[in-house]
Amino acid sequence: MTALESPPTTGAAAHDAAVQRLVDSYRAIPPGAPVRLAKRTSNLFRARTATDAPGLDVSGLTGVVSVDPQARTADVQGMCTYEDLVDATLPHGLTPLVVPQLRTITLGGAVTGLGIESTSFRNGLPHESVLEMDVLTGSGEVVTTDRGDRAPDLFRGFPNSYGTLGYATRLRIELEPVGRTVSLRHVRFHDLDALVAAVGEVMATKEYDGEPVDYVDGVVFSLHESYLVLGRRSDEPGPTSDYTGRHVFYRSIQHEGPRPVRDTLTTLDYLWRWDTDWFWCSRAFGAQNPYLRRVWPRRWLRSSVYWKLVALDRRFDVADRLEARQGRPPRERVVQDVEIPLANTAEFLRWFLREVPIEPVWLCPLTLRDDATWTLYPLEPGEAYVNVGFWSTVPVDPRGGPGATNRRIEAAVGDLGGHKSLYSEAFYDEETFWRHYGGADYPALKERYDPGHRLPDLYAKAVRGA
């Protein structure tokens, strides 16, 4: 298959058969037994209660059903990865409106668990470009839902429900046109207030220094070194850079001078620019060591491989054992994404850089697309936010109890009017949790779509690891 050929789509008949297998596997699980997806990959970073129960059969729900280039829509199965989704749409000159940065994130996962990327300052979150979806609910029925008159409460409540109301089997999403390449400007800032002011300018005007901006994210290395990465869609001919092998993308953006550094990537490589090194987390495995990188197979330079290494470390406590041999305490995992109102972002960053020994951190501006509200993740319509992502470990504080650093971060985020994503550990007490995540509306949704409580509730899943 050439780069311009689209892979075959699943087709409606095969999709219907796969949905029936899923429903049958759901109904075969005895009442009271845990219900989980039988999936090969995960991008969650929170513990789950072990179980020997069989998972739901999603083996036939991993593809694209169809692409309509004229309508700029795609019907996509819930377990389809964004890697496969982009491979199906990009030959038509189209991509999803938001493509999360890791290849193996699934569309269903990004909608039920949220996702974000450098188009979120103009396109919001992945669930905002969903036109309709089919959901296998906790009652064992497949419900079609949209923002109109078909189960609109489920449509509004599904994002951030993390499979506690049901699982998406098919989603119809909007697509947008893209160019052959993305032209980049890496703009350095020496002051966090200036950085945040520039973010606000880009979000308000969709341009910076007289040039249009179609993509924006950023990296903070320290109080005095931070960058915005500004992208523009382009069809201009010319050479492109390659960060899928020896070169590391996030290091390419650093520079000393006052002028922006310019670069160009193919659109495909731009979409996966962070996946090759899992942002910068590959350094923990030695993959950024230039000598090791020369012999590290290129096919292993991807987030899914690093995730398997993390799973092995968690299973055998490799890192903590090495720390103990050096006479050092074990380390607390601090893997979080938080949304902070733009007006409070500089204050949060200063607090974080002072209190938490993790660098760099990722920035991704976000505004909801319209005035709609989403029940379980109540960001304010019209409010400008910045997602701050940080993914590393810190020494355990023996006086602070389990999750001491994560708890302090949760408190700081709440004090500044923010929220945090639930793909990783959460330590909220139940009252605080439901205040942040739609507790006034969740019980009614749960009773309507999972009356038998076959699925765990959101607090049990996100905090207790059910």
Find out whether the peptide bond into 31 is cis, omega within 30 degrees of 0: no
CA 86: distance to chain centroid? Answer: 16
CA 380: distance to chain centroid? Answer: 20
Q: Does the residue 350 lie in any domain?
A: no
pLDDT at 321 over 70: yes
Q: What is the pLDDT of residue 4?
A: 55
Q: Does the residue 111 lie in any domain?
A: yes
Q: Does the residue 371 lie in any domain?
A: no
Q: What is the pLDDT of residue 37?
A: 79
Q: Does the residue 313 lie in any domain?
A: no
**Model pLDDT for residues 225-266, shown as the tens digit of each residue:** 999 999 999 998 999 999 999 999 999 999 998 899 999 999
Q: Residue 113 sits in which domain range?
A: 12-178
Mean pLDDT of the chain: 93
pLDDT at 136 over 90: yes
Tokens (6 digits) for 455: 């699925």
What confidence category does residue 2 fall into, taking pLDDT thresholds of 50, 70 and 90?
very low
Q: What is the pLDDT of residue 52?
A: 59
Please count the other Cβ atoms lying within 10 Å of the Cβ belonging to residue 112: 26
Q: Does the residue 453 lie in any domain?
A: no
**Mean pLDDT across 130-144:** 97
What confidence category does residue 47 fall into, taking pLDDT thresholds of 50, 70 and 90?
low
Q: Does the residue 321 lie in any domain?
A: no
Q: How far apart are CA 423 and CA 37, in angstroms?
A: 16
Question: Which residue in 229, 206, 42 sits closest to 117, CA to CA?
Answer: 229
Q: Does the residue 413 lie in any domain?
A: no
pLDDT at 280 over 90: yes
Tokens (6 digits) for 391: 């993914």
Q: What is the pLDDT of residue 1?
A: 41
**Total domain count, the chain:** 1
Please count the other Cβ atoms lying within 10 Å of the Cβ belonging to residue 141: 12
* Sheet of strand 181-189, all strands in order from the earlier edge strand to the far edge: 261-266, 181-189, 225-234, 215-222, 361-366, 385-395, 331-341, 419-420
Tell me if 317 sits within 8 A of 29, measured CB to CB.
no
Question: Which residue in 99, 397, 45, 131 sits closest to 274, CA to CA?
Answer: 99
Q: Does the residue 154 lie in any domain?
A: yes
Q: What percent of the chain has pLDDT over 70?
A: 95
Which residues, including other chains, have CB under 8 Å from residue 326's CB and lie 6 or more apart?
A: none
Q: Is the CA virtual torsion 325, 326, 327, 331 positive or negative?
A: negative
Domain containing residue 64: CATH number: 3.30.465.10
pLDDT at 125 over 90: yes
Window from 66-70, 146-150, 305-309 with minimum mean pLDDT: 305-309
What confidence category does residue 3 fall into, taking pLDDT thresholds of 50, 70 and 90?
very low
